[in-house]
Amino acid sequence: MIQFALFARLEAKPGKEAEVEKFLQAGLDMARDEHTTPIWFALRLSPTTFGIFDAFHDEEGRQAHLQGPIAQALMAKADELFSVPPSIEAIQVLGLKNEL
């Protein structure tokens, strides 16, 4: 079972909400290329708050993702797009239902 995950909370600067949404859409294309990232969600939690949830088969996959192109792009755009630095938490998946 997939137990390793990350949750990133992103608070858009005023007027940057559309750019954050576009950034996350581009992130989906990058996530599709990551073979160690089987689950990836871009989320809108409120008009200005966004999130990324992704999950991995093992700790090595999680660490590869943290060193990969999405994380690098996120940090490169942080000052431009976000009012506070992204909050990235390592979390444990306790249960998973997937009917795809």
Alpha carbon distance 2, 80 (integer Å): 33
The structural domains of the chain, with segments of one domain joined by +, span: 4-92
4-92, CATH topology level: Alpha-Beta Plaits (3.30.70)
Q: What is the DSSP string of 19-88?
A: HHHHHHHHHHHHHHT-TT--EEEEEE-SSSEEEEEEEESSHHHHHHHHTSHHHHHHHHHHHHHBSSPPEE
pLDDT tens digits along 76-96: 999 999 999 999 999 999 999
pLDDT for 99 beyond 90: no
At residue 100, the pLDDT reads 73
